[in-house]
Amino acid sequence: MFIPLPRPIIDAARTLRQLARTAWLLPLLVLGACSSQPPAPSTPSPAESEHMQPMEWQALPGWRDDHVIAAWSAFLASCPQLAKKPRWTSVCDDAEHVDPLDESDITRFFEMRFQPYRLTNDDGSTTGTITGYYEPILNGSRDRHGPYQTPLYRFPNAWQAAPQRVRAEQRTLLESGALRGQELVWVDDPVEAAFLQIQGSGRVRLDDGDTMRVAFAGSNNQPFRSFNRALIERGEIDASEATLPGVRAWAKRHPGRVKEMLTVNPRMVFFRELDSDHSATQGPIGALGVPLTAERSLAVDPSRIPLGAPIFLSTTQPLSKEPLQRLMVAQDTGNAIKGTVRADFYWGHGDTAGKRAGRMKQDGRLWVLMPK
């Protein structure tokens, strides 16, 4: 027979559950009771403070409108790496006690445990360029046959301990036979393969029904030159066609000139196959060593922004004035991502993400959140 508990006991149990969930708040509440001032943020290093200006939370446009639950898993993914640094250990310990489904609890955690800093460029400006990238999906085979004639290469064995000057070989020399035997997988589209080298990671749908995940393994240390830009400069396409669909359409019109177009870029990227425990639902592995989260991971310049740190971004949607203001996490880097207010927005995988990434070149502002 069910006997209802008295109301005081039910209320007490509910209070205990809430206290347990917010245990991370107790040290801050005790400190607040002992002092009329909130805890001071830890002092940034000289290199950081040069490009960082402390701000109040209300200065972040759209902060209270963001659905921070979407960024929470990305931040937690960074914690195993962040917790190795003394400045971040207690923050990541406290994060384990936050309710991952309670938006207000997550917002309160960030506001009480972090200080936002507005980032500035060397010239003192606060606006920079926000571009986009994605994870392409290609069709391929582990064996060369039929339409699968374009190889993606492993990092050459002979280069494992070679100095950089030896590795700085032109793409044309490498493709002349020096990489024979280093083929990782064969794909059916050289243009798609070229764009994959720009993105640095992707998925290959194999002809046997499996999917291979490939990630950046190294390069030949040559600077990147955009074949999109070369086609524009030659009058082959206009700026609106400088996307994967646009270049693919050009290649179909000029199949005999595709190789000539692609060799404009001397940089070659090599790949490795990800282990099978990297699930299909996870994003590619970023420079921090954790899977990226679609629309919540940023590639940044790690000499200016600590990898793993939460970043608040204020920009606009691709080719639009519609605000794009949300909490992100710095989890990746990029060859072209240099400077303080400069970032690459990870859109996810597939054609839709690719279209958004290809169209994105917006002005934006950044705030880095550092532990108090």
Which residues have a Cβ under 8 Å from the Cβ of 218 and sit 6 or more positions away?
155, 159, 167, 269, 270
**Residue 283 near residue 292 (C-beta atoms within 8 A):** yes
* DSSP characters over 295-339: TTEEE--TTTS-TT-EEEEEEE-TTS-SEEEEEEEEEE--TT--S
pLDDT digits (tens, 9 = 90+) for 21-55: 555 554 444 333 333 343 444 445 544 568 999 99
Q: How far, rounded to the nearest angstrom, does the alpha carbon of residue 208 sit from its chain's CA centroid? A: 30
The three-point CA angle 192-195-198 to 5° equals 155
Q: Report, as ranges of residue numbers, the positions in the chain whose pLDDT lies below 70.
A: 1-49, 160-169, 277-279
Q: Coil, helix or strand for 190?
A: helix
Residue 167 has a pLDDT of: 63
Token pair 């990226």: residue: 292
Q: What are phi and psi of 260, to 5 degrees?
A: -60, -40
Q: What are phi and psi of 258, to 5 degrees?
A: -65, -45
Residue 2 has a pLDDT of: 37
Q: Look up residue 256 and give its DSSP letter.
A: G
pLDDT digits (tens, 9 = 90+) for 257-302: 998 888 889 888 999 998 876 667 788 989 999 999 999 999 999 9
Residue 318 has a pLDDT of: 94
